[in-house]
């Protein structure tokens, strides 16, 4: 695991954005899985600022996860934190962006669709995610098998509680649909970003505790090309 600590959120985001740009310019048909939420927002902004015409003409984006039962036009949806800030500004056509349909009557079929898409692309080139206060990656909660591909997860109370910040009204969050930890392990590059003092404790656990499915983010330690990038506030 490559641990890097940056002076602040700005420097962290600049590094992450430049990494993505360098990768895409070396592999124009890259498949990139991105998380929603607050952590990657500045990285998205910087990617958009750095992008030159045609940089993303062949790139496919896969959204990491979604709250089950939440409409894509809900401002608290995961899609609402990716589409307006990354894929639309980069003019990525719909056929090269995959979002989970969390309203689907057949969520298992949705999981299969995403699994098949990633497999057809030869796996993910980059997966870039944040980290939950309980160490989750995406909506892969503690106890999720490292051998799991896309699946429906039961959310822990802390995840449902923290997730309320994205919604204007109290919203029932009980399940998520997410790219799996096996996808994470099989990605050519796996990146976890963390910023702010509230992430300090969980980052300390990832660094100091052994690899365990009880701490999903600990799998970075067994990834062949895993990176943990944090700002000083989140670092240890």
List the CATH number of the domain containing 14: 3.40.50.1360
Average pLDDT value for residue range 161-181 = 94
Average pLDDT value for residue range 23-39 = 97
pLDDT of residue 142: 98
In a domain, 197, yes or no: yes
Residue whose C-alpha is closest to residue 218's, from 184, 188, 176: 184
Residues 16/128, Cβ–Cβ less than 8 Å: yes
In a domain, 50, yes or no: yes
Strand pairing class (97-98; 151-154)? unpaired
Average pLDDT value for residue range 167-193 = 96
pLDDT of residue 29: 98
73 pLDDT higher than 80: yes
Contacts of 164 (CB under 8 A, 6+ apart): 170, 171, 173
In a domain, 128, yes or no: yes
**Eight-state DSSP code of residue 211:** P
Q: Is 66 a catalytic residue?
A: no
Domain total in the chain: 1
pLDDT of residue 49: 98
Confidence of residue 96 (pLDDT cuts 50, 70, 90): very high
In a domain, 215, yes or no: no
125, 141, 186, 231: the active-site residue? 141
Contacts of 154 (CB under 8 A, 6+ apart): 141, 174, 175
Residue whose C-alpha is closest to residue 58's, from 100, 95, 113: 95
DSSP, collapsed to helix, strand or coil, labels residue 30 as: coil
Distances (CA, A) of 25 to 20, 32, 55, 117, 150: 9, 13, 7, 22, 28
pLDDT of residue 163: 94
Residue whose C-alpha is closest to residue 126's, from 37, 54, 47, 208: 47
For 196, the domain range is 2-209
Distances (CA, A) of 49 to 17, 57, 87, 88: 10, 16, 13, 13
97-98 sheet: strands from edge to edge: 2-6, 226-231, 189-194, 126-129, 31-34, 60-63, 97-98
Report the distance separating Cα 14 and Cα 43, nearest Å: 6
pLDDT of residue 175: 97
143 pLDDT higher than 90: yes
In a domain, 231, yes or no: no
Mean pLDDT of the chain: 97
Q: Is 65 a catalytic residue?
A: yes
In a domain, 216, yes or no: no
Residues 133/162, Cβ–Cβ less than 8 Å: yes
Average pLDDT value for residue range 16-21 = 98
Average pLDDT value for residue range 5-32 = 98
**Eight-state DSSP code of residue 85:** I
pLDDT of residue 194: 98
83, 134, 186, 223: the active-site residue? 134
Count of other CB atoms within 10 angstroms of residue 165: 9
Confidence of residue 44 (pLDDT cuts 50, 70, 90): very high
234 pLDDT higher than 90: yes
pLDDT tens for 146-169 read: 999 999 999 999 999 999 999 988
215 pLDDT higher than 80: yes
pLDDT of residue 236: 74
Q: Is 208 a catalytic residue?
A: no
| Phi, psi of 127, deg, nearest 5 | -120, 125
Q: Is 134 a catalytic residue?
A: yes
Strand partners, 213: none
In a domain, 232, yes or no: no
């Amino acid at each position: 695991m490559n641990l890097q600590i940056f002076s602040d959120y700005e420097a962290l985001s600049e590094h992450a954005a430049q990494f993505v740009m360098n990768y895409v310019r070396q592999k124009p048909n890259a498949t990139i899985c991105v998380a929603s939420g607050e952590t990657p927002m500045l990285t998205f902004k910087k990617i958009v600022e750095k992008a030159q015409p045609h940089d993303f003409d062949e790139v496919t984006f896969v959204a990491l996860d979604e709250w089950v039962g939440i409409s894509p036009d809900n401002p608290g949806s995961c899609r609402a934190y990716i589409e307006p800030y990354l894929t639309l500004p980069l003019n990525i056509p719909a056929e090269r962006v995959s979002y989970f349909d969390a309203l689907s009557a057949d969520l298992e079929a949705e999981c299969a669709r995403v699994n098949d898409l990633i497999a057809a692309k030869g796996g993910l080139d980059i997966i870039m995610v944040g980290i939950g206060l309980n160490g989750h990656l995406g909506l892969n909660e503690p106890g999720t098998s490292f051998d799991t591909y896309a699946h429906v997860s039961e959310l822990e109370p802390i995840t449902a509680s923290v997730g309320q910040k994205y919604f204007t009204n109290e919203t029932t969050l009980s399940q998520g649909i997410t790219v799996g930890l096996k996808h994470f392990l099989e990605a050519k590059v796996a990146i976890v970003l963390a910023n702010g003092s509230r992430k300090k404790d969980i980052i300390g656990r990832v660094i100091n505790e052994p690899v365990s499915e009880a701490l999903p983010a600990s799998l970075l330690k067994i990834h062949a090309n895993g990176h943990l990038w944090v700002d000083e506030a989140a670092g240890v």
